[in-house]
Copies of this chain bind each other. A is one copy, B any other.
């Protein structure tokens, strides 16, 4: 073990009155454009971020492990200081937490898909033609008054054909296999317990599916549903407990608020722009000492494969970022939860640009914020989960280890 784990963090961390800001540009890292040979960061005109790089210790973070492409969950948990290979959350619970649903530790949640089945009940379209979010919400509304013997149920729309099913009651278990056969041409599976303790929950799920099937039978194209990723909300140590921080999350999208809440972070209401985020940050500056600020649109552009829009979003951040710097946090970290190169139009495993600005940071020769320049950084390529240890150290919040 080389990285500080949570037990060591709990032993060494101490409160003080410093401020730590983690600014996450979702999907930050990129790859060169085939025409110009420059990455999104290299193509962007970002003088303020370049200047911050000059003042910072620079490098890259690896969210999970070399070569591993992370989802949003692991990407963020790592930056919060939680090893994403240890702190793993089931898909159903993540989906519930990600729509601001108040999932209780004893609830079991599953990710649901509306789908299309033929006359023999075989799946012909696993996503029911990606029905609109509006249509999906109508279908969800029609399932809410299903009544189960022994559990309360919640059905919540997510987006397009996706929804969340949550069961609340005594003795519920996540030991239930998916009903989604992950293939077309096969019928949805009956819910089966994967262990003895899942049997009662599987029975409840099958009861739900049978009632839902009757209600959906005459709908088109979504006339059936599948469920997968049965999971409880994990109970994890809080950042307050482990790191002695009073943490706040400034994120417009519910998924990121949900992730932050899993580690005991208070979420603040905020508008969609970075200016909104910084205004919220300023407003609550005195109440907290760790702020996670999330910016979504770099990732959206990357996922859309829109190189130029990702460049434009980076420039948008650059125009706003000085207002954040002017708050003068003791430690300012700027990075991403993963790379989303526009040329791949998807999350990737590539190390993510990262810089840490602090009075005690050993600044380096890195003079701009780009994948090439950051190779000159003093931080090298480090596990993203080490960012928190560095932040605490630079904030004077870690006691000496050993005499």
Q: Give A residues with C-beta under 8 Å from B.
A: 1-4, 8, 12, 31-32, 62, 64-75, 83-85, 88-89, 91, 94-95, 229, 344, 347-351, 360, 362-365, 371-372, 375-383, 386, 388-394, 398-403
Contacts and interface: CB of A to CB of B under 8 A. Distances in A.
A67 to B, nearest CB: 3
30 contacts: A1-B83, A1-B85, A3-B65, A3-B66, A4-B67, A4-B68, A31-B362, A65-B389, A67-B391, A67-B392, A68-B393, A68-B398, A68-B401, A69-B393, A69-B400, A70-B400, A71-B400, A71-B402, A71-B403, A73-B403, A74-B401, A75-B402, A84-B402, A88-B402, A89-B402, A229-B403, A344-B360, A350-B362, A351-B362, A375-B376
Nearest to A69: B400
B91 A390 contact: no
Contacts of A388: 67
Contacts of A8: 65, 68, 85
A158 to B, nearest CB: 12
Given A31-B362, A372-B365, A69 B398 contact: yes
Number of copies of chain A assembled together: 2
Contact of A380 (B85, B380, B392): B380
A360 B69 contact: no
What is the interface of chain A mostly: helix, strand, loop, or mixed? loop
A390 B3 contact: no
A401 B91 contact: no
Nearest to A378: B375
Q: Which has the most chain B C-beta neighbours within 10 Å: A1, A31, A383? A: A1
B389 A67 contact: yes
Contacts of A94: 402-403
Contacts of A398: 67-69, 349
Contacts of A390: 66-67, 349
A394 B31 CA distance: 13
Most buried by B among A68, A74, A89, A393: A68
Nearest to A382: B66
A88 B402 CA distance: 8
A363 B12 CA distance: 37
A72 B4 CA distance: 18
Given A3-B2, A8-B65, A70 B386 contact: no
A365 B375 contact: yes
B91 A403 contact: yes
A88 B85 CA distance: 25
A403 B2 contact: no
A65 B350 CA distance: 23
A127 B74 CA distance: 48
A357 to B, nearest CB: 14
Contacts of A68: 4, 8, 12, 389, 393, 398, 401
Given A3-B66, A74-B401, A362-B371, 7 more contacts: A2-B65, A4-B65, A8-B85, A67-B391, A67-B392, A67-B398, A71-B403
